[in-house]
Amino acid sequence: MKTLLFLQNLGAGEIIIIALVVLLLFGGKKIPELMHGIGKGVKSFKNGLNEVEKEIESIEEPLKDDKKESK
């Protein structure tokens, strides 16, 4: 999996500063709600990818069977 260019040189100090800025912007009460929303989004995205993969496999399977029969 490719990493983003700016994430390669990110140290502990930078991560702490980013966390503090996020805490200041959203507040302590909003962060769990924000993380919950992000988790739902990631889960939905993964489910969508799995559905697309299954659909592609269901389309490719009859094509493989047709190739076997023609030989």
- Closest of 46, 22, 45, 49 to residue 35, by C-alpha: 22
Instruction: Give tens-digit pLDDT for 39-49.
Output: 999 999 999 99
The predicted structure's pLDDT at residue 35: 87
Count the domains in the chain.
1
Domain of residue 45, residue span: 5-70
Q: How far is CA 21 from CA 4, 16, 27, 28, 70, in A?
A: 21, 9, 10, 12, 64
Q: For residue 12, give both structure tokens.
A: 């502990």
**Tens of pLDDT, residue by residue, the chain (71 residues):** 455 556 677 788 888 998 888 888 888 888 888 889 999 999 999 999 999 999 988 888 777 766 666 65
